[in-house]
Amino acid sequence: MHLTSLHRYPIKGCRGHALASAEVDALGLVGDRRFLVVDSNDRFVSQREAAVLATVTPTFDGSILTVEAPGVEALVLELDPQGASRDVTIWDDQVTATDQGDHAAEWFAEVVGHPCRLVHFGGEATRRLDPRYSPRPDAETAFADGYPVLAVLQESLDDLNRRLAVPVPMERFRPNVVLTGAPAWSEDTWTTLTLGDVTFDAVKPCARCTVLTVDQRTGARDPQQEPLRTLATFRNIPGRGTMFGVNLVPRGSGVVSVEQDDR
């Protein structure tokens, strides 16, 4: 197999950007989903309820976060690792994150349309993986839905697109790693994957949700609920969800680069 693209999403739910190479640590691609928007109840906000996040474009250089969105002035924010601690909820997990201040909160409230705050996964933050699928007791993730890295096969998308009246681009699936050179849906059977000098455990197929129906360029929802509707006709596992892609957990740190082959 061949690694064709890498993608990082600095803020959960917002746009990502392509990378030629990426450092990997225990939490996944360094800088991936380390920021999170939360509502007035300190619960995470995603495209499920705020599709407008698809139009928000963040870049982060390790110290300065720049966030752009249509119709508003860009937010330029220096990471505050000493910000106030804030206990936030993502799914069933509570994480002690670092609040990034009132200016960021006001900016996101204007874009999303209701009170919000921006927090960062840093300092003493921890979030253990679901023990049913975790390859080891201390494995963690940041603000991804459940696992550090999402990998997908181009061949699987090609097979899905042959079933759709209107094909969709890979960006709908918000992957970190895109691979090619294997049969469609063969990712279901993977147990490990090695890219560059990093080996990953493939722990489970990725259950998908209504985010698939959001156009990642405009933030508009598909009125026919595609491609999720069609995907569910042949990729649904009763009691577990509609699957596309595979969740990966890194065994160590290193660098992965586009054009690398799986070993």
pLDDT tens per residue across span 3-14:
999 999 999 999
168-189: average pLDDT? 98
54-67: average pLDDT? 98
Which residue do the tokens 């993608």 mark?
7
Short-list 34, 39, 155, 150, CA closest to 88:
39
Indicate the domain borders of the chain.
2-28+130-257, 33-120
Q: Residue 153: is its pLDDT beyond 70?
A: yes
Express as a percent the part of the chain with pLDDT over 90.
97
Can you list the pairs that 72-78 forms with residues at least 24 positions away whose Cβ atoms lie under 8 Å?
A: 72/107, 72/110, 72/111, 75/103, 75/104, 75/107, 77/101, 77/103, 77/104, 77/118
Band of the pLDDT at 123, cuts 50, 70, 90? Answer: confident
**CA dist 42 → 45, 49, 86, 91, 206 (Å):** 9, 15, 8, 12, 25
Fold of the 2-28+130-257 domain: M1 Pyruvate Kinase; Domain 3 (2.40.33)
Query: What is the pLDDT at residue 259?
Result: 82
Band of the pLDDT at 260, cuts 50, 70, 90? Answer: low
39-54: average pLDDT? 98
Quote the CA–CA distance of 212 and 226 in Å, as a whole number: 7
Can you list the pairs that 25-31 forms with residues at least 24 positions away whose Cβ atoms lie under 8 Å?
A: 25/250, 25/253, 26/139, 26/140, 26/148, 26/250, 26/253, 27/121, 27/140, 27/141, 27/142, 27/148, 28/141, 28/142, 28/144, 28/148, 28/149, 28/176, 28/250, 29/148, 29/149, 29/176, 31/60, 31/62
Reading the block at residue 106, the tokens are 């006001």
Render pLDDT for 16-45 as a digit per residue (tens, 0 to 9): 999 999 999 999 999 999 999 999 999 999
Express as a percent the part of the chain with pLDDT over 70.
98
